Chain A
Amino acid sequence: MLSELLTKETIQIANKVDTWQDAIRLASSPLLQQHKIEQHYIEAMIQAIEEHGPYIVLTPKVAIPHARPTKGVNEFAMSLLSLQNPVHFAPDKPVYLIIVLAAIDDASHLQALVDLTHVLQDPTQIDNIIACQHPESIVEKIKHYATKEQI
């Protein structure tokens, strides 16, 4: 499920960005181009963080920005931005991986999140993804981690 969403078309690698807002905009750009989300969904994700704090940094180095389905999602989608240099969501929250979640309802994205949990529960796997130099290698890593036998 997750590997159907995170493909070389939705994964980007960048050297650095100036602000966490820029990181979310850049990470979302493939979804905007594919008309899976509207521009105001991006602003809604940014606003959610301004409102509730950077709790979407679920685990060190990884942020999962998202907003409600009604805020401008056309189709269930995800995208990933991997940064060579971290962007800070808070002074103590440096982030390398930004995984945008665009859900259309409360349920259809859950299997993808189960897969994503398998990827993120192991810090070594996160570091291995950050070390990837090509979107294709990130695709392979995610496919491997998301489907591997759980301990």
Chain B
Amino acid sequence: MKILVVCGNGLGSSFMMALTVKKALAELGQEADVTHTDLTTATAEQADMYIGAGDIVDQLDDGFRKIVRVVNMMSIPEIKSKLEPLL
């Protein structure tokens, strides 16, 4: 499974969130390919799941992509609860 963590410019926020996503996956006992990128790159990149702040990932929502909106990007519990039903 490929999870793409997306932010505005792919530099800081998405990297920090990717660390949290990896930790959440580890706690769920799951493995996935987690990468981070900016919004523009993400629109052209295929992934099984797109995860990021609502403001950002809403722009990727084409009705087909699996989108996960996160409020607290540093919260392992929040990310775990949102990923678990999708894995």
Residues of B within 8 A of A (CB): 7-13, 15-17, 19-20, 23, 39, 52-56, 72-76
Contact = CB atoms under 8 A, between A and B. Distances in A.
A120 B20 CA distance: 10
Given A48-B8, A55-B55, 16 more contacts: A48-B9, A52-B39, A53-B56, A55-B52, A55-B53, A58-B16, A58-B74, A62-B74, A64-B16, A67-B9, A68-B11, A103-B12, A114-B19, A116-B16, A117-B74, A121-B75
Select the residue from A66, A110, A117 with max chain B CB neighbours within 10 A: A117
Interface of A: 48, 51-56, 58-60, 62, 64, 66-69, 101, 103, 106, 109-110, 113-114, 116-117, 120-121
Given A52-B39, A52-B56, A117-B74, A58 B11 contact: no
Nearest to B39: A52
Contact of B12 (A59, A60, A101, A121): A101
B9 A59 contact: no
A95 to B, nearest CB: 13
5 contacts: A58-B16, A58-B72, A59-B72, A113-B16, A121-B20
A59 B75 contact: yes
